[in-house]
């Protein structure tokens, strides 16, 4: 694990007067203060990070920082006296730095629109309309990033300093219930080496949102994120756990980049750190209220761009990187784990020929792919690759005693703070309680494909209700051709007053149902489809929220239907 004195935040700074704006631009300093941060019920605090880089050639000092409500009431004040050493990055403009280290600013029109929604919400009583305006503003201001892994990125980050501040709900001097928002003013006093001082000021909006959508037995989580054990710098496993809890996630898998003890130029998890890494995961998992914290890894065929990446889940020993793609698969299998192909369509780290590899029902092979990763959602052509693979190997799935297939997941690939809580996977455990300390329960659901992928926390669950109840990842037998009923339940992450849900039901024969439901946040609808041979049924739902202009994407994993003769 390479020690680096830096951490990158997905923060936004927007020049709109009085709303998420800086009141002063300082040539010698690069700073990022988030225009928004959010937590979900029942979290009781917000985390607000601040990032600074001294671009000049003289030492400067952060003296003090104050957080206050819009009426001036102070809620937090800290005397820091933190020194920022010169970085000699003065030649780089602030936007150039943002681009190189992966900070994405929201469009100016999005910030203006968000302000309009919040101004409306201030005048409204609690209710669906007020909730819709607040959620639309949150969607418009949601943190984004395009994290890059280059030597230049690390050089810039090595000169940065980050400060974290926790704002407790009880300190906000008002009763906060979801859905609500709280503007806070942040003032940071900086002193120069000659004793002169100046103040950096900005307004940041805290969003307190509802808990994530729920259905009995389904629990949201994230199976791809990084910490200081590789290249997420001073993001500890415990801080990941705390952020996940605040975003209402019930399980996470830490997947730090693995090395092989011979390639140490990049920050990588090495074999002699595996035991301590597991201890850190155990420590984080034992924090109450419990969420599952699993130790995993991300393997690479080569260092740097151009390599392909494989997530390792459930491995009981360290797994080394490097080699060809099949070598990675074999390494994971030998360690008792199963592999998920990470961001297969990422142009920097592609694995676009994944569908030419052996069926997961044959070992060793990979077990699934990320359909959604790091904000990227597969397009129709890439979904066709998934259907081609499912269809081509359907006989192997039926023959396999465990009925394995290529599972589709959604993960954040978070390297940066504030990026959890959007891309996520819901798993079905069949329990009234979230998995807590039950790691096998998480692995079992993922490995069996009892999961649905979501781009932003919207929930999709389909079930076949003919002759029983069959969920994603289930296998059912049918003796003769006929109609079956497919129930589609989908709930958008944000209230939809105007918009739609586009629904597709897909089988091995292609798309058999297309439907549009207008102006509903929740869809709960039965469809009748005809099946006559071995096939699968999967569902995809796209929500469109016309208030924010945001799209939400959900993909359920397939349910397999086996006709006589069975298991053939």
DSSP output for 5-49:
S-----------TTSS--S---TTEEEE--SEEEEETT--EEEEE
Whether a cis peptide bond, with omega within 30° of 0, leads into 42 is yes
User: Could you say which of 209, 241, 273 is where a domain stops?
Assistant: 209
Q: Which residues contact 376 (CB under 8 A, 6 or more apart)?
A: 343, 345, 346
Note whether residue 20 is domain-resident. no
> Tens digit of pLDDT per residue, the chain (568 long)?
543 333 333 333 333 333 444 434 467 889 888 889 999 999 999 998 888 999 988 899 999 999 999 999 999 999 998 999 998 787 788 888 888 877 787 889 999 999 999 999 999 999 999 999 999 999 999 866 665 666 677 777 778 887 889 999 999 977 899 999 999 999 999 998 888 999 999 999 999 999 999 999 999 999 999 999 998 876 899 999 999 999 999 999 999 999 876 666 678 999 999 999 999 999 999 999 999 999 999 999 998 889 999 999 999 999 999 999 999 999 999 999 999 999 999 998 999 999 999 887 666 889 999 999 988 999 999 999 999 999 999 999 999 999 999 999 999 999 877 789 999 999 999 999 999 999 999 999 999 999 999 999 999 999 999 999 999 999 999 999 999 999 999 999 999 989 999 999 999 999 999 999 999 999 999 999 999 999 999 999 999 999 999 999 999 999 999 999 999 8
Whether a cis peptide bond, with omega within 30° of 0, leads into 565 is yes
| Dihedral over Cα of 97, 101, 107, 110: its sign | negative
Q: What CATH number does the domain containing 481 carry?
A: 2.60.40.740
Pair 300, 406 in one domain: yes
CA atoms within 13 A on the CB side of 364: 17
Note whether residue 14 is domain-resident. no
For 371, 488, 491, 502, 520, the CA distances from 541, given in Å and listed in that order, are: 14, 9, 10, 6, 13
Nearest to 363 by CA among 339, 392, 388, 343: 339
- 296 DSSP assignment: E
Pair 136, 195 in one domain: yes
Q: What CATH number does the domain containing 393 carry?
A: 3.20.20.140
305, two tokens: 């761009």
In the sheet that 45-54 helps form, which strands lie side by side, from edge to edge? 29-32, 45-54, 160-168
- Assess contact for 64 and 189: CB atoms under 8 A: yes
Pair 239, 373 in one domain: yes
Residue 422: what pLDDT? 93
User: Could you say which of 454, 472, 500 is where a domain stops?
Assistant: 454
Pair 161, 220 in one domain: no
Note whether residue 22 is domain-resident. no
User: Could you say which of 393, 420, 454 is where a domain stops?
Assistant: 454
For 256, 302, 351, the CA distances from 259, given in Å and listed in that order, are: 10, 10, 19
Note whether residue 371 is domain-resident. yes
Cross-strand pairs, 528? 485
Pair 315, 302 in one domain: yes
Pair 448, 489 in one domain: no
Residue 57 domain boundaries: 29-209
Note whether residue 51 is domain-resident. yes
- Assess contact for 253 and 223: CB atoms under 8 A: yes
CA distance 415 to 420: 10
Note whether residue 242 is domain-resident. yes
Q: What CATH number does the domain containing 91 carry?
A: 2.60.40.10
Nearest to 141 by CA among 336, 11, 266: 11
| Dihedral over Cα of 291, 137, 188, 21: its sign | positive
Stretch (H or E) spanning 490: strand 482-491
120, two tokens: 């409306």
Residue 20: what pLDDT? 44
Nearest to 539 by CA among 478, 459, 479: 459
Pair 113, 51 in one domain: yes
Pair 246, 257 in one domain: yes
Beta strands in 155-217 (DSSP E): 160-168, 180-191, 197-209
Pair 488, 556 in one domain: yes
Pair 512, 415 in one domain: no
Note whether residue 13 is domain-resident. no
Residue 17: what pLDDT? 32
Note whether residue 17 is domain-resident. no
Pair 361, 395 in one domain: yes
Pair 378, 432 in one domain: yes
The shares of helix, strand and coil residues in the chain, as percent rounded to the nearest 5, are: 20, 35, 45
Place of tokens 């207008």: 518
Number of domains comprising the chain: 3
- Assess contact for 559 and 474: CB atoms under 8 A: yes
């Amino acid at each position: 694990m390479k020690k680096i004195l830096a951490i990158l935040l997905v923060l936004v700074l927007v020049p709109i007067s009085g709303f998420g704006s800086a009141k002063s631009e300082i040539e010698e300093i690069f700073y990022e203060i988030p225009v928004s941060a959010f937590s979900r019920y029942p979290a009781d605090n917000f985390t607000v990070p601040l990032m600074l880089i001294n671009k000049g050639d003289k030492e400067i000092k952060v003296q003090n920082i104050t957080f206050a409500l819009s009426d001036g009431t102070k809620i937090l004040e800290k005397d820091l006296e933190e020194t920022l050493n010169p970085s000699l990055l003065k030649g780089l403009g602030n936007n150039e730095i943002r681009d190189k280290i992966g900070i994405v600013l929201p469009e100016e029109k999005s910030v203006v629109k968000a302000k309009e929604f919040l101004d409306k919400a201030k005048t409204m009583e609690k209710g669906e309309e007020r909730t819709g305006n607040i959620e639309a503003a949150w969607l418009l201001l949601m943190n984004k990033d395009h994290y890059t892994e280059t030597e230049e990125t690390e050089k810039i980050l090595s000169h940065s300093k980050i400060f974290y501040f926790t704002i407790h709900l009880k300190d906000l001097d008002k009763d906060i219930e979801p859905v609500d928002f709280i503007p806070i003013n942040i003032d940071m006093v900086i002193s120069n080496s000659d004793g002169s001082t100046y103040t950096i000021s900005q307004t940041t909006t805290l969003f307190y949102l509802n808990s994530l959508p729920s259905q009995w037995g389904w629990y949201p989580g994230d199976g791809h994120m990084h910490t200081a054990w590789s290249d997420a710098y001073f993001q500890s496993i415990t801080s990941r756990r705390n952020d996940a809890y605040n975003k209402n996630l019930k399980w996470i898998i830490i997947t730090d980049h693995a090395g092989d003890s011979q390639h140490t130029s990049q920050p990588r998890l090495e074999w002699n750190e595996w035991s301590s890494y597991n201890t850190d995961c155990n420590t984080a998992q034992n924090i109450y209220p419990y969420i599952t914290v699993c130790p995993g890894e991300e393997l690479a065929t080569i260092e740097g761009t151009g390599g392909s990446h494989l997530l390792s889940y459930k491995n009981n020993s360290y797994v080394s990187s490097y080699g060809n793609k099949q070598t990675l698969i074999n390494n994971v299998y030998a360690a008792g784990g199963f592999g998920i192909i990470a961001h297969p369509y990422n142009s920097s780290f592609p694995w676009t020929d994944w569908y030419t590899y052996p069926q997961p029902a044959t070992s060793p092979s990979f077990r699934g792919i990320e359909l959604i990763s790091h904000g990227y959602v597969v397009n129709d052509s890439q979904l066709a690759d998934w259907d081609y693979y499912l269809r081509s190997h359907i006989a192997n799935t039926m023959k396999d005693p465990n009925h394995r297939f290529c599972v589709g997941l959604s993960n954040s690939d978070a390297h940066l703070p504030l990026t959890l809580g959007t891309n996520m996977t819901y798993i079905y455990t069949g329990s009234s309680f979230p998995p807590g300390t039950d790691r096998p329960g998480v692995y079992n659901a993922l490995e069996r494909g009892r999961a649905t992928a979501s781009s932003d926390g919207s929930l999709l669950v389909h079930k076949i209700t003919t002759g029983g109840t069959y969920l994603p990842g289930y296998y059912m037998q049918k003796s003769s051709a006929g109609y079956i009923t497919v129930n589609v339940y989908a709930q958008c992450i944000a209230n939809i007053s105007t918009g739609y849900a586009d629904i597709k039901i897909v089988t091995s024969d292609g798309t058999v149902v297309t439907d549009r439901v207008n102006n509903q946040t929740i869809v709960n609808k039965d469809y009748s489809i005809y099946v006559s041979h071995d096939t699968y049924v999967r569902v995809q739902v796209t929500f469109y929220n016309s208030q924010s202009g945001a799209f939400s994407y959900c993909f359920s994993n397939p349910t397999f239907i086996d006709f006589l003769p069975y298991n053939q």
